[in-house]
Amino acid sequence: EDKVVQSPLSLVVHEGDTVTLNCSYEVTNFRSLLWYKQEKKAPTFLFMLTSSGIEKKSGRLSSILDKKELFSILNITATQTGDSAIYLCAVENNDMRFGAGTRLTVKP
Amino acid sequence: DAGVIQSPRHEVTEMGQEVTLRCKPISGHNSLFWYRQTMMRGLELLIYFNNNVPIDDSGMPEDRFSAKMPNASFSTLKIQPSEPRDSAVYFCASSFGGGARGYTFGSGTRLTVV
């Protein structure tokens, strides 16, 4: 059975901290791994990763994929209260399957 | 493009009633996904369609749940009879070719069964 597992399930940090969110997967016919941020409504797209070892960066957020060990990490540096959200990892194979998410709370 | 359109945005119903959730995918997308999101279980894939045909419905929790896609521009998710444990946010998403290409979520329907 295909699995996408995220950790930790929740995380509370203070502004300025750096956080690392984890996503491991076991799927057949892997095509890509995606990260989403969900605040009050629908998830919004952050990154799509298809190749191992190539870091994707957007401002304070970055992500990398390891296809040998079957995991990805999402890093957020110098966190701000606006980073508080649920961060979802999804794996594309024949469909799109999501992990349960990491709920990040950034305190002032 | 208006994106993926879901209706209603909110639904409150009594236990035992039938509930129908609706989704209009992005024009030209040929894959449609229904998800349920709860605090306990996260975002679960219920069913997905490719070219209007259900491909995998293994995530549909019980026979009380059914989904249809009569044409390329419309899908429904029906719960009959509804139960309080069905309370969740239901998302629809669409894409090209079943995967991540053009993948877009709707705004979701928040269902409360009392």
Nearest CB neighbour to B91, from listed A42, A90, A97: A42
Q: Tell how far CA B49 is from the center of its chain.
A: 11
Nearest CB neighbour to B106, from listed A42, A88, A92: A42
d(CA A29, CA A67): 12
Q: Which two tokens stand for residue A16?
A: 């300025």
Nearest to A5 by CA among A25, A28, A35, A19: A25
Give mean pLDDT, residues A70-78. Answer: 98
Nearest to A21 by CA among A85, A107, A80, A91: A85
Interface test with chain A among B43, B90, B105, by most A beta carbons within 10 Å: B43
Window 36-75 of B: residues touching A by CB (8 A cutoff) are 41-45, 48, 55-56
The answer to whether residue B95 neighbours chain A at the CB level (below 8 Å) is yes
**Number of CB pairs < 8 Å for A and B?**
54
Residue A104 has pLDDT above 90, yes or no: yes
Q: Which two tokens stand for residue B112?
A: 């409360």
The answer to whether residue A43 neighbours chain B at the CB level (below 8 Å) is yes
Nearest CB neighbour to B99, from listed A43, A45, A96: A96
The rounded average pLDDT for each run of 10 residues, N- to C-terminus, in chain B (114 residues) is 91 97 96 92 91 92 94 97 96 86 91 97
Which residues sit opposite A6 in a β-bridge? A23
Chain A residue closest in CA terms to B9:
A41
Interface test with chain B among A39, A44, A95, by most B beta carbons within 10 Å: A95
pLDDT digits (tens, 9 = 90+) for A20-58: 999 999 988 899 999 999 998 889 999 999 999 999 999
Q: Do A96 and B100 touch (CB under 8 A)?
A: yes
pLDDT in the model for residue B1: 62
Say if residues B10 and B19 touch (Cβ distance below 8 Å). no
Beta-strand relationship, A44-49 and B53-56: unpaired
